Structure formats: C-alpha cells, structure tokens
A and B are shown apart, each in its own frame.
Chain A
Amino acid sequence: MAGQLMMESGPIAGPVPTDGAARNVDARSADISGMPAKSTPAVSAEIGGTFWRRFVFRRPLLALILKRLGLSVGLLFAVSLMIFGGVEALPGDFATTYLGQSATPQAVENIRQDLGLDRPWSERYLSWLGGAVTGDFGTSWASKQSVSEQIGNRLGNSLFLAFFAALVSVPLAVGLGMLAVQFRNRMPDKIINVISLAAISLPEFFIGYLLIMFFAVEWGVATFPATVYDSMDFGERLSAIALPVATLVLVVLAHMMRMTRAAILNVMSSAYIETAELKGLSTFRVIARHAAPNAVAPVINVIALNLAYLVVGVVVVEVVFVYPGMGQYMVDAVTVRDMPVVQACGLIFAAFYIFLNMAADILAILANPRLRHPR
C-alpha cells in the first residue's frame, strides 16, 4: 500500500515526481540550453585526499553502486529489526494465536518451550539474524517446513505473475503515453486519460471481480481460479494467470502512462524541441527521437516503483484470484505470528524495493552522465 501512495503523489500531483528525477530533467534540459555545468573535477582535486575520493572520481558509477549497496544492507538490517519489533508488539504470541480458541494452557506451554519463546527477544532476534545472514531462514514454526524452500516456490509464482504483468503494462503504458502527447488535448488523449483514470480509481478487488464475473462466470472464456502448481505446463500457467495479469495491468497502467505523458510534455516545452519542430520534423519523430529519450529518467522511476508493487503489493489480487504468491504467504504467516516466515518475507520485500530503486537511479544516471558527479 505504501508503494501505491508514493506512486500516486507523483504523477497526479504534477509532472515532477521525485527529487532525483526532477534534478535529472533539469540538468538535461539545462545542458541543451547551453548553461555552463562544468564544476565537479576541480572541486574534487582541490580537496584532494583519500583512496575513496579518488575512486569516486575515476569510477563514479561503480562508487555510487557500492555506496548504494552498503546503504541497502544497512537498510535491510533496520527493516529486519522493525519487522521483529512490530510482530513482537502485536497482541498475542505464536502459541496462543496458532492454537486459537482451542489453546489449553498445557498446549501453549509446550509450544512456547519447543520454540524457545521463553527466551528474551533480543536473543531470539540475534540467533535468527545469524541464520539469515548465511542464507538460512530456518523452519516455519507452524508448518515445520523449510522457509527458504517454501519461499522459493512462492517467490517464483509472484515473479511469474509480475513478469507478465510488466511485459504487458510497461510497453503499453509508454506507448499510450506517447500517443497521448501526440494527440494532446484531442480525443485520443482524453479517451486514454479517462479510461486509465477510471481503472486506477476502482479498487483492485473490484476490477478483479468484474473480470471474473464477465470472463469466467458469464462467458466462460477465462480460467478461474488462477491457482498454479508444479505439475502445470507453461501454456496452462499462462492461461491461469490471464485474468490476474489483466487486473494488474489495469491497476498500474495509469501511473506509468501519465508519468510518461507528463515527462514528455515537460521536455516538449524546451527550446530544442522548438528547433526540431522548426526544422520541419513530424510530430511523431519529435516525440520519439528528441523528447522521449530526455524524459526517460522520471519514467524509469515510476516504472521501478510499479514493478516493486507488482511483486510485493498484490496481496488482494492474489486472494481474489486464489493465486499462491508471496503476499498471501506472508499474510498467512502474520496471522499466526509465524516469525521466521514473516521476517524472511519482509526482508525479501524490502530487498526488492531497495534493489529496484537503486536500479532506477543507476539507469537514470546512465541516461544522463552529468549526474555521475553530483555537486
């Protein structure tokens, strides 16, 4: 949900999404419009200094990646601590919650001792962390199965769904965004806007139910439920995920489409676009060759956020379509306070967000080399 909120604030509030992207666009257009921008090497040389500074100077991209990686690891630790604290603070512990209404004091005591729940939380956290660092997420308290193994399965399913949703939605969104710019304020632009805004205004579960009602119940053309399992072949899998993918595409399309449109429009007001137009180039060529590449950074950012959402934020879609992904797995675990699973899921989700954000920043820098030497 948090991801979605972050996304919404960007494209809807205006064409400038985040600091990074804003800086990006400005820098690029500044470059074109001929403002001086040479400064960083001199500054670095003046200060002179350590190996790291020299390294940053020579391999700025690599240094940035290393720095972000270091930061990511720190963030992951913080996240793990927060998740642990959060579950710890929830009312009821694993033993009572798992047994529910059928908890006898004896059974609760047995489980608590069995799992070492009587030990202080710091001790339990450290021993869990020790395992996690070596890649061992332990065994689920509830099902006694290996968490890594179970997650392997579920994560595979989640990525499968996210991959196809992205495969459809990203090109579609960017294409529609460019189309909307070309027909700016004319009928196609308006239609695209209204439809995508309508889709984003409906809650995901409602879109899901509508699709199920028409495609599965009324017309019987789509597969439902979307349960996937090991013995399924690729074709069956594809047909099973058709409806959830359609739902996800409708949900994320508007964000990316509107960001593309806004970013390109932003660039379109630059002087060099005017030049291109005065050269007599067609509108399409101006957009595709001159405007779009310079609008890439903010679009990459919003795409990255949406990709992260497709992996970690689709619990509702998973429930509605009976799809065995990570979201459902984590919700089940939180319900019974199955700590090893909650922690592992939380870490993996955090890792996804951190990684995709990092990738977006790096791609933005690749698209605009001037950002390699931040002032």
Chain B
Amino acid sequence: MSDYKDYLTRQVMLGKMNRREFLGRAAALGIAASTANTLFATSAAAQEPKRGGHLKLGLEGAAATDSKDPAKALSQFMFVVGRNWGDTLVESHPTTGAPVPALAESWEPSADASTWTFAIRKGVKFHDGKELTIDDVIKTLQRHTDEKSESGALGVMKSIKEIKADGDKLVLTLTEGNADLPLLLSDYHLIIQPNGGLDNPDAMIGTGPYTVTSFEAGVRATFEKYADDWRTDRGYVDSVELIAMNDATARIAALSSGQVHFINRVDPKTVSLLKRAPTVEILNTAGRGHYVFIMHCNTAPFDNNDLRMALKLAMDRETMVQRILGGYGKIGNDFPINETYALFPEGIEQRTYDPDKAAFHYKKSGHSGPVLLRTSDVAFPGAVDAAVLYQASAKKAGIDIEVKREPGDGYWSNVWNTQPFCTSYWGGRPTQDQMYSTAYLSTADWNDTRFQRPDFDKLLLEARSELDEAKRKEMYRTMAMMVRDEGGLILPMFNDFVNAAGKQVKGYVHDIGNDMSNGYVATRVWLDS
C-alpha cells in the first residue's frame, strides 16, 4: 500500500494528478481525508524545486578507455556526462516520447517529409562565452554524417543527404521522407559543439547546464553550475560529482551509507534487500529495452515457421519477468515495440505459454533432436539463468533445448548476429521506424533474426514518410503482426530501468526515453535537506 501511496505522491509531484483525483484515490486506499489533504499539500509543495547543494552519483559503466568526444560516447557514465555539459537540437518528452524543442526552437517538414527546416534558438552561449550560431550546428551534424566518422550516430544520420543554412534557418534534405527526423536529432551523440567539435572534439564545451571542472576517465567527473544557462527549469544543484562504480555491491554500499545520492543499475535480485533501508527509494521506469532470444529465419532448422512458432509458444514469459527481472519489467509479445512508443499498435493478442500448442507446431515442423541455444551473461543480466528456465519450460512441450554457455569476451562479435540461435539484448530506439529499420529491414546491418520480407520493407518505407498518424498506426500494426507471427524473434520481456536514490533526492523524472531519466538525472533532480 505504501508503494501505491508513494506512486500517487510522485504523480502529484510530476504534475500529473490534481487534488480531486488524488483525494479520490487516497480515499480508496483508506486514508482519512485530513491526512490525504496534508499529504497532497506536502507532495505539491515538494514540486517546488530547491536550488543548491552538491549532488553525488555512483554510476556503473565507466572505463579508463572512455573518450571525451561525444561522438564516441558508449558507456552509461559518458551518457550522463554528455547530458550534463551538452545539448542536442531536439529532446524527447519524458512521458509521451514526442519530440520537444531544445536548441532548435521549432521545425517544419515539407509535404513528403523529405526536407526539414529548423529554427535555431538565439542568444544561447557556449561555456567558453562564444554564442551558438547556425554554423556550429551545421558543422556538428556534418562531423557526425562524415563517412569517415567514428560517430555512434552514423547509422542514424545516414539518411541525411544535405545540411545547409537558409538565412538563419537550418535545412536538412533527406534521401527519402522521414516523419521522425526531429526525434533522430535527440540522439545523445549529437551534442552541439562550438565549430562542430572539429577543432577539439574532446573539449567538453557545450551549452548544457553544467560546465566540466574535472574529468578522469574511468574514475570521476565533476561539474559546476553554468551561470549563463539558457534554461531555468533544470540544473538545480550547484555542483555534480559522478563517481565510477562498476561493482554492484559497491554502489549499494555507497548509497546505503549515504556517500552518494543516486546509483544506477540495481540488480533486481538485490532490490528487496535495498528496499529495507529506510533512507532509500527505488526508482524503476518502464523502458523500451528488451531481452530477446533470436533465431535466424534463413538457417536450418529455424527456417521453418512451425518450429519458430513452437519455440515462441514454449516460452514462459510470466516466470521470466518474475525470476529474471524480479518483477521489474513487462512481458513481451514477440515484436520489439511496447506502449512507451508513440503510435503503439494496441489490441494485439498477448502470446502466452502454451506447451500443448507448442508441441503441436513442433510435431508439424518435422524437426527432431536438440535445439542449440547459445548464451552468456553479457547478453543481458541473468541471460544464462533465463536460458535454463526456457529449457525447462520447453521440455514440457517436448522440445529439447541444449544450452551452451559462451565466453562473455567476444560475445558480440562471435555469437550475436553470427550464430543462428542465441540470447541478446536490444536497448530500444526513439521511434518504431528506427527500431524496425535497425534490426528488421532486410538490408539492415543488424538484422540479427535474418528477417527478409520485401512486403515488410515496402511497408516500413511507406510508413516512414507518412504524415497521417492514423494511417501510420495501421501500418505499424501490420508490421508488428508480421514480426510477431513469422519473425525469428522471441521477446519474453521488456526490462525496467532500476535505479535507486536517497530520499532527499526529489523531482526524479521517470523518462521512458532511456535509463537514468534519459541521462538527464543530474540536471533534473534537486536535493531536499
């Protein structure tokens, strides 16, 4: 019950619930009206951000090899570092996922969505005092679209044909229409740097709410509030300190002893232990990341749709979510999209564990003998356990799965996208189009299920430039059904992002975009003494 109370309180703090609604739900919980009123008042008061203080975060994912260049940011740690000092042209809305203005004030597509015009915000200053110009924006985008670039956003930027200025407006011309272009520009690599970062990509000078005061790769980064920040609704604390803590137990110890205010990547297995500490709050956010079992549709024996269907039906999703995610997640339906995406196709029947039906399809496929599943704990946390669980549930359907544990080192180059049946992880993408284009388009580099369907490809391209939302939603529904019923993807679960913070940390925004409030955690929270 107290969980639900916390939830209500948070809804009020986020401004998502008014007093009447709050009182109604509180009454349903059996809380007296007077108590509920006080509760509402304190929650609402907590909405007023406090300024000042020194925020310390203990984060997993840093390495001595981290590069300061945002183009090469890969780790969780550098993701937050970049969000602190830099801004992108567009941001995504924390709860709807829709594009919202950042350094670009507004934008306008052409009728076929192949040319986009962006108005760039004026009067924004970089940390070195130089004013942001359209030239900086163009140079930044050019640096990331350069074929020789090592940018992590290269794949996203591939479809941009021309980048130019029209007076003080930015004009992007695409090779084909793309209704989602603004969201693509919210990619965390695409931080706008002075002169595009061409002079010194490692300078860590941007327009973000914090300036970098020290940085030691794999150890620690410190920040100070940037006095000339162009926004007032962020950057509440005076200074931020990120400490690299790659050991899960060390993070938990640091949080429960009060040495840090926030930690990421809490192991679902230890959440219940951590919850016992009275000063700690668990922050879990539904996300787009999903844990998957992938079969190559073009490789025997997985080139048989009956066998694929049998393997899908032999998956006990509920148990997976409970055992592997500790309940911090949602069950999946064998297509890589969940309700956190805009234009999510509702009403598709949930696939459930059905050993009889699985056995029927298995028999029909004509396959016999064991099916080899490769796995490793680097695929996702608990992947080996998940594979063994799957083995047990498939056994009841008469399917013999042989689990082979591969070394974690080199898993991504030797097993994933190479071997016909293995466990893997997808981080999700800002849009459905991007998710499908990345992994389900016939020609995609990362088509890890070898899903090759010309009708699917055609639909994907049509949907991309379709500006009518209703039509687009229908197209995405058809595509989801194709992947669900004929693809090589078994998707048992979407994982929550599980973080934890001390109770004095207020204003945490549960952003569906990505982990740690989409990386903005340090710029969005404040400290309550």
CA distance A110 to B152 in the complex (A): 12
Contacting pair A341 B64 (CB below 8 A): yes
Given contacts A92-B414, A225-B245, contact A220 B65 (CB under 8 A): no
CA distance A55 to B76 in the complex (A): 61
B420-447 at interface with A (beta carbon < 8 Å): 424-425, 445-446
Contacting pair A319 B250 (CB below 8 A): yes
Interface size on B, residues (CB 8 A): 48
Tell me which residues across on chain A come within 8 A of B149, comparing CB atoms: 107, 110
Given contacts A107-B150, A111-B150, contact A224 B64 (CB under 8 A): no
Contacting pair A224 B259 (CB below 8 A): yes
Contacting pair A97 B150 (CB below 8 A): no
Contacting pair B219 A227 (CB below 8 A): yes
Question: Which of chain B's residues has its CB closest to A153's CB?
Answer: B216
Tell me which residues across on chain A come within 8 A of B259, comparing CB atoms: 216, 224-225
Contacting pair B63 A336 (CB below 8 A): yes
Rounded to whole Å, the gap between the CB of A316 and the closest CB of chain B is: 9
Contact with B along A202-222 (1 / 0, CB 8 A): 000000010011001100100
Question: Which of chain B's residues has its CB closest to A100's CB?
Answer: B412
Interface class of chain B by DSSP:
loop
Given contacts A111-B150, A321-B250, A322-B244, contact A231 B413 (CB under 8 A): no
Q: Which of B151, B214, B243, B445 contacts A322 (CB 8 A)?
A: B243
CA distance A324 to B250 in the complex (A): 14
Given contacts A92-B410, A101-B412, A220-B257, contact A332 B250 (CB under 8 A): no
A325-369 at interface with B (beta carbon < 8 Å): 328-329, 332-333, 335-336, 338, 341
Contacting pair B243 A90 (CB below 8 A): no
Tell me which residues across on chain B come within 8 A of A105, comparing CB atoms: 445
Question: Could you list 25 A-B pairs, sorted by A, with CB under 8 Å?
Answer: A90-B409, A91-B410, A92-B413, A97-B412, A100-B412, A101-B412, A107-B152, A110-B149, A110-B150, A140-B65, A143-B66, A143-B67, A153-B216, A154-B64, A216-B257, A220-B257, A225-B259, A229-B219, A229-B220, A322-B244, A322-B245, A322-B246, A335-B65, A335-B409, A338-B65
> Which residues of B does A touch, CB under 8 Å?
58, 63-69, 74, 147-152, 154-155, 202, 214, 216-220, 243-247, 249-250, 253-254, 256-259, 407, 409-410, 412-414, 416, 424-425, 445-446
Other A-B pairs, 11, CB within 8 Å; known A104-B446, A212-B253, A217-B253: A92-B409, A98-B74, A105-B445, A217-B256, A224-B253, A224-B254, A229-B216, A229-B219, A324-B219, A335-B409, A341-B64
> Which residues of A does B touch, CB under 8 Å?
90-92, 96-107, 110-111, 114, 140-145, 150, 153-154, 209, 212-213, 216-217, 220, 224-225, 227, 229-231, 319-322, 324, 328-329, 332-333, 335-336, 338, 341
The 7 A-B residue pairs whose C-beta atoms are closest, nearest first, are A91-B410, A142-B65, A92-B413, A92-B410, A332-B63, A332-B64, A324-B219
